[in-house]
Amino acid sequence: MIYLTGGWDGTGGWSGVEGEASTGEEPSARRRASAPPQDPQVAAWKSLVAKNFAGDAACASCHAEQAEAHRRSGHSHTLVPMHQSQWAKALLESAVYKDPRRKQTFQFQGDDKQFVVRDISQPATPAMPVTWLLGSGAHAQTPIWVDEASQRGVEMRWSYLAPIEGIGLTPDHDRFDDYPEGSVECYGRPLDHADVRACLGCHATVTPPPNLPIGEDLIVPNVGCERCHGPRKQHVVLAEQGLAEQAKPLVPLDDPQAAMEVCVQCHRDADSVSPTATAEELVRFQPYGLKRSRCFTESDGRMSCSTCHDPHDAVATDRSAYIARCQQCHQPNSPGDCPQSPAGDCIECHMPAVPWTAGIEFHDHWIRSPE
């Protein structure tokens, strides 16, 4: 049985602080009724963020083109409080979801302050709040619950899946069909401290340090400008005085390899993928594949993710534009020309789409000749 301080105790009720009896009332309501004085460390963190981070809107005042592109990208809406999401509204209308692999029916309830899921097939099991919705929806969106105090949580068993444009089993959760009744596993995969921080860390601009709770008001959600460019409040202040150039870039993004390492933080390379990952799983991690490609290893450090992708914008779907990128080096009738189909579709042969799960597929970024 997993016990989460100040959260869901898995025994039929909510557990509060030590010595407080379970009342069946959800903790968010009780916390709002008797909120403790703000911790000095929490206040210091909020002050640190306010003094150093300008926010996307401040960047947009000068960098309008990039800001508009960013708003189209998945990065701009990859971490949303569940109760504020459009999908939450759709789930409240449908009200229930029947698990296709378990004898469970989940019921959704909520308002403009919280979203809650119940296992109505087991009435004695307490409801669980849903804190965040992770993902842009281009492939999927997965909800999680995070207990602020313990920094542990649950990845919900149900997700939004783009291929079916609706709710379905969260990818990889077919491994968790068996679960102890009355435990948090009835709602999904338990997340420990490291799991929670990894999930939120790659879907946020900044998250609080490990010694602080993972509160919604302590996180700058979504992958904003300052996730890649670093905190730029000083740059904005100087720009307002016509002195923007005095605030030098914090990350040398003009260097292709430095820029790629920013992408690697979340999109992963060989140093951060699981050694047991299958080929279908590895295709999700584009830098892992790209760094194994001759196009990359023989580029003298010039090739990076942004060689083909605009880092500010949504992933382009114009196949001809990608082929044109390939032909910048692999020109027709040149030594680097494709011997099989010089005028063909480079992507189809050398970067094919590989099925992952639940109808989701990713293009293999290990650029190589087909086997």
Of the candidates 121, 22, 18, 20, the residue with the CA atom closest to the CA atom of residue 10: 22
Backbone angles phi, psi at 363, to 5 degrees: -80, 130
pLDDT at 62 over 50: yes
Q: Which two tokens stand for residue 255?
A: 């260097």
Write the burial class of residue 199 (CB in 10 Å: 0-12 exposed, 13-18 middle, 19+ buried).
Answer: buried
Residue 299, token pair as written in the block: 């580029």
> What does the pLDDT read at residue 335?
63
**Six token digits for residue 281:** 């799983």
- CA torsion sign, 200 to 167 to 104 to 280? negative
Q: Indicate the pTM of the whole model.
A: 0.88
Q: How far is CA 106 from CA 200, 253, 326, in A?
A: 24, 46, 48
Beta strand ranges found along 199-341 (DSSP E): 204-206, 220-221
Model confidence over 226-279: pLDDT tens digits?
Answer: 999 999 999 999 999 999 999 999 999 999 999 999 999 999 999 999 989 998
How large is the average pLDDT for residues 285-301? 96
Query: Are the beta carbons of 367 and 322 closer than 8 angstroms?
Result: no
Q: How many CA atoms lie within 13 A of 68 on its CB side?
A: 4
Measure the CA–CA gap between 95 and 345, rounded to whole angstroms: 45
Whether residue 169 contacts residue 99, with contact meaning beta carbons closer than 8 Å, is answered with: yes
Q: What is the pLDDT of residue 2?
A: 33
User: For residues 108 and 92, is the Cβ–Cβ distance under 8 A?
Assistant: yes
**How do residues 214-231 score in pLDDT, each as one tens digit?**
999 999 999 999 999 999
Q: Domain boundaries in the chain?
A: 45-73+227-250, 79-217, 256-363
